[in-house]
Homo-oligomer: A and B are copies of this chain.
């Protein structure tokens, strides 16, 4: 185990391992090997061992990894051994789909607030949440100490909302708007843009 700074590219693979291990556990498996896990996620066994060994000696020679133990450790490393409260900004179609999405449960996340700047929508209920006015967002996020947000507003509104999120102390943004966001280095952004993802594949067609 090394205590040095872990490259971003390795951190990025851990959730993939976590997801595959979770699935193995759900299927009743008890142990796995770097070889087997690698086949599941399409990554070489050597790389998986190297990645995991950055954080500790979690395996056993001859038998591999205890799935339950490795799951625990990965959740701990990724800090998803707890539930993170997430704000959802933008109550359009995509916002609605995320508000109803079941896939956050057991993965460490829970939507607790929904905002929209459309006065017509404010006050409406969506999956049990009352849509709140974006004008009150900074105050609400600050007082609730929320660190994560999902952004499903139109592209032209995204940077403005982002500035407010940063101001409110949000440190991680999952951005569905098809635009690059400008944030200070202390704030992380992940991008989900279906068109961009599709365009990564058309080159090969």
A96 at interface, CB cutoff 8 A: yes
Partner of A202, one of B23, B80, B197, B199: B80
A29 at interface, CB cutoff 8 A: no
B195 near A107: Cβ-Cβ < 8 Å? yes
B180 near A201: Cβ-Cβ < 8 Å? no
Would you list which residues of chain A between 4 and 46 have a CB under 8 Å from chain B? 11-12, 14-16, 18-20, 23, 40-42
Report B-chain residues with C-beta under 8 Å of the C-beta of A199.
14-15, 18, 78, 80, 107-108
A195 near B103: Cβ-Cβ < 8 Å? yes
Number of copies of this chain that the complex holds: 2
A200 near B79: Cβ-Cβ < 8 Å? no
Would you list which residues of chain A between 95 and 125 have a CB under 8 Å from chain B? 96-98, 100-101, 103-104, 107-109
CA distance A198 to B80 in the complex (A): 10
Report B-chain residues with C-beta under 8 Å of the C-beta of A84.
198, 202, 205
Interface size class, chain A: 35 or more
A93 near B103: Cβ-Cβ < 8 Å? no
CA distance A98 to B79 in the complex (A): 31
Name the distance in Å between A165's Cβ and chain B's nearest Cβ. 13
A203 near B16: Cβ-Cβ < 8 Å? no
Interface residues in chain A, defined as those with a beta carbon under 8 Å from any beta carbon in chain B: 11-12, 14-16, 18-20, 23, 40-42, 77-80, 84, 86, 93-94, 96-98, 100-101, 103-104, 107-109, 147-148, 150, 155, 171-172, 174, 178-180, 188, 190, 192-205
